[in-house]
Amino acid sequence: MIELPGFVLGLNFGADAVAAALLPVAVLGWLAALAVPSPGRRLRLASWIAGIGSLGAVAAADLLTFYVFFGIVTIAAYGLVVGDDSRKTRWAGRIYLSLALVGEMILLAALLLHLAERPGPLAGWLLVFGVGAKLGLPPLHVALAPAYERAPTRGAVAFAGPLLVTAMAGLLRFLPEIAGAPAALAPGLMLLGLFTAFAGAGLGALQERARAVLGYSSVSQMGLLLAFTGVAAAGDWLALLPALLLFAVHHGLVKPALVLGTAAAPGRAVAAAQVLLALAIAALALTGGAMAKLWVEGGVAALAEPWHGLVAALLPATSVASTLIMARFLWLARAGAVPPGPTAPPGAFLMVAAVALVVPWVLLLRWHPAPAALMLAPAHLWATLWPVFRGVTIALAVRGLRRRPRWRLPPGDVAVLLDRPIQRWLGRLGRPPRLPSLPAMASLLRRVAHIRTAEIRLRDLAATGIAYLLLLTVLLVLATGT
Q: How far is the CB of 33 from other proteins (least distance, A)?
A: 20
Can residue 317 be called a binding residue for other proteins (CB under 8 A)?
no
Q: How far is the CB of 223 from other proteins (least distance, A)?
A: 26
Nearer to other proteins, 112 or 312 (CB): 112
CA distance 370 to 368: 6
Helix axes 210-234, 237-262, angle to 10 degrees: 180
Nearer to other proteins, 1 or 116 (CB): 116
CA distance 419 to 146: 13
CA distance 318 to 330: 18
Q: How far is the CB of 111 from other proteins (least distance, A)?
A: 7
Among the residue ranges 19-27, 68-76, 177-185, 388-396, the one whose residues contact other proteins (CB under 8 A): 68-76
Nearer to other proteins, 377 or 470 (CB): 470
Contacts of 451 (CB under 8 A, 6+ apart): 445
For the purposes of burial, counting CB atoms within 10 Å of the CB of 402, is it exposed (0-12), middle (13-18) or buried (19 or more)?
Answer: exposed
Q: How far is the CB of 167 from other proteins (least distance, A)?
A: 16
Over the window 77 to 116, marking each residue x when it contacts other proteins by CB under 8 A and - when it does not, the resulting string is: -----x--x----x------x---xx--x--xx-xxx-xx
Rounded to 5°, angle at Cα 218 from 363 and 212: 140
CA distance 144 to 212: 8
CA distance 252 to 161: 5
CA 412 centroid distance within chain = 14
Contacts of 475 (CB under 8 A, 6+ apart): none
Residue 344 is classified by DSSP as B
Residues 26-65 that bind other proteins (CB under 8 A): 42
CA distance 132 to 167: 8
Q: How far is the CB of 98 from other proteins (least distance, A)?
A: 8
Nearer to other proteins, 71 or 346 (CB): 71
CA distance 261 to 248: 20
Q: Give the one residue of 1, 313, 379, 426 binding other proteins; rule: CB under 8 A.
A: 426
Q: How far is the CB of 339 from other proteins (least distance, A)?
A: 20
Nearer to other proteins, 404 or 459 (CB): 459
Among the residue ranges 3-11, 275-283, 397-405, 411-419, the one whose residues contact other proteins (CB under 8 A): 3-11
Nearer to other proteins, 163 or 253 (CB): 163
Helix axes 41-59, 17-34, angle to 10 degrees: 170
Q: How far is the CB of 129 from other proteins (least distance, A)?
A: 13
Cβ(262)–Cβ(343) below 8 Å:
no
CA 231 centroid distance within chain = 21
Q: How far is the CB of 256 from other proteins (least distance, A)?
A: 25
Position 343, amino acid: T
Nearer to other proteins, 365 or 469 (CB): 469
Nearer to other proteins, 104 or 413 (CB): 104
Over the window 435 to 464, marking each residue x when it contacts other proteins by CB under 8 A and - when it does not, the resulting string is: xxxx--xx--x---------x---x--xx-
| Helix, coil or strand: residue 435 | coil
Among the residue ranges 1-9, 21-29, 228-236, 285-293, the one whose residues contact other proteins (CB under 8 A): 1-9
Residue 3: strand pairing partners: 12
Residue 180 is classified by DSSP as S
Cβ(80)–Cβ(47) below 8 Å:
yes
Nearer to other proteins, 118 or 334 (CB): 118
Nearer to other proteins, 139 or 336 (CB): 139
Residues 273-292 that bind other proteins (CB under 8 A): none
Residue 13: strand pairing partners: 2, 60
Q: Give the one residue of 10, 14, 139, 342 binding other proteins; rule: CB under 8 A.
A: 10
Instruction: Select from 355, 350, 231 the least CA-distant residue to 293.
Output: 231
Q: How far is the CB of 431 from other proteins (least distance, A)?
A: 6
CA distance 125 to 420: 29
Q: How far is the CB of 143 from other proteins (least distance, A)?
A: 15
Question: How many residues in the shown chain lie near other proteins by CB under 8 A?
Answer: 55
Q: Contact positions toward other proteins, by CB under 8 A?
A: 4-10, 42, 67-69, 71-72, 75, 82, 85, 90, 97, 101-102, 105, 108-109, 111-113, 115-116, 118, 426, 429-432, 435-438, 441-442, 445, 455, 459, 462-463, 465-466, 468-470, 472-473, 476, 479-480
